[in-house]
Amino acid sequence: MTPRFFDIHAHVWDPAFNEDRNAVIARMQEKGVASIMIGTDFKSSQDSAMMASFTDEGIFASIGVHPIDDIEARFLVPLFDQLTEGKRVVAVGECGLDYSRLDEVSDVVLEKERQRKLFEMQIDFALAHNLPLMLHVRDSDKALADAHHDILAILREKKKEAGENLRGNVHFFSQTFAIAREYLVLGFTISFTGVITFSREYDEVIRLTPLDSIMTEPDSPYVAPAPYRGNRNEPVYVEEVVKKLAEIRGEDFETVRAATVQNALRVFNIVV
């Protein structure tokens, strides 16, 4: 069945859902919300893959290692190889570069190098398994766009050999249209969270990006959209993100809803 909404980035394995995880999933199913569970290390990747395997439909998994959630976390290829054999594993990540906490490390050059290697391993893994990437990219400063510039340079280099096989989505997009355009040229999409319901910072990039390159995610359990701000976030709130996208773009809700679902099905190669 074609989902009514597609939340492309959720962490429902998070302890924030320990009390009522089944009820959260039941609400998703009732509302027709499909969701991709995102791993940030091996354990949560395994949890994501399990959730996808044990649910009838509507739950998918992305497996990978986050750049800074746990700096000890490794991307051990044979272990992740096994996870790709599970049902509905549709992406690799969240992976990427995060420069938002470089002021806390003793050697910035080494830390950037560590992140770059971890990321490149996952790009190669995604290519070997013909899966799209779920990118996590945070700059040290928006004006510098340093993490984005570094990621784009890596992707451009990889693109030369990999061609169309190299693809994916930039999750929690937090940059300008000038940066978005660089990803679009490479065939990547961008996704927006509940932040767009209470900050006007992204209105321009939302208006300028073609509708076929936009996806939606509330990023549960973090940053709930208005009117749920301050509460724990959950996948069904994706509807608020769709509403706001439509409002900002001046398009009707139904057009934006249907397009964001189709985009997710296309990018993550999901047949319904």
**How many residues are given for the chain?**
272
Site string for Zn ion, 16-45 (x = CB under 5 A): ----------------------x-------
Under a CB-based contact definition with an 8 Å cutoff, are residues 140 and 108 in contact?
Answer: no
Closer CB to Zn ion, 222 or 251, in the complex:
222
Cα torsion 17, 88, 163, 204 to 10°: value is -40
Under a CB-based contact definition with an 8 Å cutoff, are residues 91 and 44 in contact?
Answer: no
Closer CB to Zn ion, 136 or 244, in the complex:
136
- Least distance from Zn ion to the Cβ atom of residue 53, Å: 20
Under a CB-based contact definition with an 8 Å cutoff, are residues 142 and 174 in contact?
Answer: yes
Which residues ranging from 36 to 95 are in contact with Zn ion (CB under 5 A)?
38
HSE of 204 in the Cβ direction (CA atoms, 13 Å)?
A: 9
- Least distance from Zn ion to the Cβ atom of residue 68, Å: 12
Rounded (to 5) percent helix, strand, coil in the chain: 50, 15, 35
Closer CB to Zn ion, 137 or 242, in the complex:
137
- Least distance from Zn ion to the Cβ atom of residue 249, Å: 24
- Least distance from Zn ion to the Cβ atom of residue 90, Å: 15
Closer CB to Zn ion, 138 or 246, in the complex:
138
Residues that bind Zn ion in the complex, under the rule CB under 5 A: 38
